[in-house]
Structure 1
Amino acid sequence: MLAKLFRDISASCLPGSPLTHALLNSAADDLESGGVTNLAMAGSERDRPGTVPGLRFAAALHHLVLDGRAPELAAHYPSVGGTPRLETLWSDAEAALKEHEAEVRRLVRANAVQTNEPGRNGPLYGGLLVASERVGGLPVRLLEVGSSGGLNLRPHKVAYQLADGTVLGDPSSELRLNPEWTGLPPADLERPLGLESRAGCDTHPVDVTTKAGQLHLSSYVWADMVPRMERLRAAIRLAETDPVPVERADGSEWLERRLTELPEGVLTVVWHSVMWQYASPAQRERGRAALAGAAARATESAPLALLVYEPRRANGNFELLLKLWPAGLSLRLGHGWGHGLPFTWEERPWG
C-alpha cells in the first residue's frame, strides 16, 4: 500500500520535479524489497492516502539536507546549491536514511503536509477582486482555513507583475510574482483591494518567524524548484514585517465561531487552497454545515463568499471556484497548476 502511494505521488511530481519523482520511485522500490525505507516509515503503514506519506518522507529528507546533516545527499539538491545526479541519487539517499533513520521516522510521524505556496496569491488576489466587485466593492474580511504559516494572508501586499508591464497589488512589495496569467480576472483591476481584516487557522500552524518554522516550510518545497524556494523566502520576509497570527484550531470548529456573525458593510470570504484532501470526512461535513448556516444568514449588506483553489477529481485541474450569498452566484473563475501559476482566467458557471 505505501509503495503504491509513493508511486502515485511520484507521478504527480512531473514535469516540475524530476528529483522528487526519482526519489519517491526509488523509495517505493526499496519499500517493496524490504529496505531501510520500511524502518523510516514504521507507524505510517496505514496512513490515509490524503495525508500523502510520500511527500512527508521527501520533506523529512529535505529537512536533513537544509539542516546540513546530509552533505552527500545535499550535493543532489539545488535548494542548497547542488546538482541532481539521478543515477546516484538513491544510493546517497539510502545512506542518509541509514544514518538518520530514527530522525526521518520522527519527522514523518510528527508533521502534516505543509504546502504554503506563495504563488497561490495570484489566483487568490484576482478572485478577491472579482468577489468584492460582485457585491458592490465592499471591503473583504478574509478567513483562511488551513493557513499553515499564513503566507497567503497578505494578497494585497504582493506585487503582481503582468506580461504587459502592469503591476497590480503593492508595487513596492518585496514579494514580487509573475502570476503567468492567461486572460485577466473579470473585474476592475485598477480598483485597490480593500482588506478589512484577516485571520487564519490550522491544525498544525507554523511560526514563520522562527528558524524551525522556516526550515519546516522550506522542507516541503521540491528541492529542484528553486524559484519556489525564492518565493517562499520572500513571503517569509514579508510575513515578518506584517504579522497575522494563525490560530491552532480545527477548521470546521473555527468556522463555526468565526461565522457566528457576519459584519455589516463587509464581504466575509472563507478561503482555502490545496487542503481539502487533508481534511477527514467528518471535518468536511462539519465545515460544510458551518458555511451553510452562515449562508442562510447572509444579506446584501453583510454578504458571504466561498473562494477555493483545489484539485478537481473529474479533470485533474486545480480550479478557482467562487460562491456568493445571498446573490446565489456560483462561478468557476479559471484553472491552473497546483502552485498557483501559471493560471488561466475563464469565467463559467460552477455546478
Structure 2
Amino acid sequence: MADRLPAAFAEQAANCAALGSPFMERLMRHLAAHWPDDTALAQHFAAWPGEIGPRGASLPLRLASGLHALVLSGQNAELAAAYPGGSGGNLAAAVDRALHRHDAFLARWCDRAPQTNEIRRSAALIAVAHWLTARHGLPITLSELGASAGLNLMFDRYALEIGGHCFGPANAVLQLVPEWQGSLPPVAKPVITDRRGVDLAPLRAGRPEDELRLLSCLWPDQAERLARTRAALKVQSAMVDQADAVDWLEQRLATPRPGQLHLIYHTIAWQYFPAEAQARGSRLLEAAGTRATADAPVAWFGMEADDSAEGAGLRLRLWPDHLDMAIGRAGFHGQWIHWQG
C-alpha cells in the first residue's frame, strides 16, 4: 500500500509525457520521488480507498490542479516564478515549500475530482452528432453526465476541421483540429433543440472561483488549452444541474421526446462514478432503449478509458436500432481521433 502513491505519480508522469506535457511529467516524477510524508495531505492520500491513479480517483492530477490554482490565483509567487511563463526558479524547491505552506488548502482542494472539461473532446461529439443526424434526420436533445462547466454541451458552436473540410458553423467560437484518421463524418448538420447537463459540483461560467477550478486542471505548459477554454467560457449558456448524475438521468429519461433524438453522453466522467451508479445508469439507459421508437430514438455515447493503452474508447449504443458499436478511439484530450464511424 505504501508504494501505490509513487506508482500513481509515475504512471501519471508517463501519461503526461505521452500527451505532450514535459512540465507535468517533470512535476509528477518529482512528486513520486520526493513525497512529503509529514503533511496532512499525505495522510489524506494514504487513507484514500480504491484506485488512486489515472483510471480511478486521479489523485496526482488533483494535486497538480491545486498547485496550478496557487499559481493562477497569485497565492504563491515562488511557485509562479518556477512555472511555465514565470521568471524562473527552482521548481523542486518551490513545490516542496508549497506542499507544506499550503497543506490545508491542498488537502481540501483534492477532495474534488478533476474537472478539466477538455474542449477538444467536442471533436468526437461533433462527429457523432453528424452521424446520428445523417442516420435519423431528427433534431437532437443533449444530456451530458459529469458536465463540469458544460463547455462540451456547446459543441455545435465549435468547428471541427479535418483536412480542409469544416464541420460546424461559419462563425464558430473556436476551431478543433485533431489528428484525424479514418473516413470523414457525414455532412448532415445537427440541430440542437435542448441541452442540459449534470454534475455533483458544477462549475459556473462567470464565477471566478469556478473558473479558477476549471482552468487550474489544465496543464500549465499547454497555453493553447487555456486559451481555448477561456474562449469557450465566454459563450457557455447551457444549464448544468447540481445533482447525482444517475438520479438526474432517471428524471431526464422519463420525459417523452417525440420527434427528437435524445443523445446521452459522457467524456472521461463515467470512470468516476461508483460501480453501483454505473450499473444503475446502464439499466436506466437500456430500459429507455426498450421504449425508444423511430420517431424518438435514444443514443448513448461514451468516450472513456478502457483496457487499451492507447487513448479512450469511443462507444455508441443506439435504440430502437439495437446497435452497440465501437466507433473509434481518441486521445484523452481529443488531440487525435481514429474514427470508425
Q: TM-score, normalised by structure 1?
A: 0.89
Which stretches in structure 2 are left out of the alignment for 5+ residues?
Answer: none
Inter-CA distance 119–63: structure 2 relative to 1 (3 Å threshold): same
Cα distance in 1 for partners of 2:308, 2:167 equals: 33
* Letter matched to residue 142 of structure 1: L
* Letter matched to residue 157 of structure 1: R
Cα distance in 2 for partners of 1:346, 1:291 equals: 23
Cα distance in 2 for partners of 1:115, 1:299 equals: 35
* 1:76 corresponds to: 82
How does 1:114-193 map onto structure 2 within 5 Å? 114-135=115-136, 137-164=137-164, 166-187=165-186, 189=187, 191-193=188-190
Cα distance in 2 for partners of 1:183, 1:316 equals: 16
Per the alignment, in what secondary structure is the counterpart of residue 14 of structure 1? helix
Out of 233, 242, 246, which is 1:248 matched to? Answer: 242
* 1:94 corresponds to: 96
Aligned residues: 332
Per the alignment, in what secondary structure is the counterpart of residue 75 of structure 1? helix
Out of 2, 9, 13, which is 2:12 matched to? Answer: 9
Say whether 1:201 aligns with 2:201.
no
Per the alignment, in what secondary structure is the counterpart of residue 264 of structure 2? strand
Per the alignment, in what secondary structure is the counterpart of residue 147 of structure 1? coil
* 1:214 corresponds to: 211
1:27-68 Cα distance to aligned partner (Å, 9 max, x none) = 12223xx545x4333323232321111111111100000011
Structure 1 residue 83, shift from structure 2 partner? 7.2
Per the alignment, in what secondary structure is the counterpart of residue 308 of structure 2? coil
Runs of 4+ in 1 over 4 A off after TM superposition: none
Contact preservation (8 Å) 2:263, 2:301: yes
* 2:311 corresponds to: 317
* 1:259 corresponds to: 253
Cα distance in 2 for partners of 1:82, 1:203 equals: 34
Identical positions, percent = 33
Out of 216, 228, 235, which is 2:225 matched to? Answer: 228
Contact preservation (8 Å) 2:37, 2:43: no
Per the alignment, in what secondary structure is the counterpart of residue 206 of structure 2? coil
Q: TM-score, normalised by structure 2?
A: 0.92
Q: What is the RMSD of the two structures over their aligned residues, measured on CA atoms?
A: 1.8
Structure 1 residue 315, shift from structure 2 partner? 4.2
Structure 1 residue 3, shift from structure 2 partner? 2.4
Contact preservation (8 Å) 1:127, 1:185: no
* 1:56 corresponds to: 62
Inter-CA distance 83–160: structure 2 relative to 1 (3 Å threshold): farther
Per the alignment, in what secondary structure is the counterpart of residue 2 of structure 1? helix
Which stretches in structure 1 are left out of the alignment for 5+ residues?
Answer: none
Out of 326, 330, 340, which is 2:334 matched to? Answer: 340
Cα distance in 2 for partners of 1:133, 1:323 equals: 16
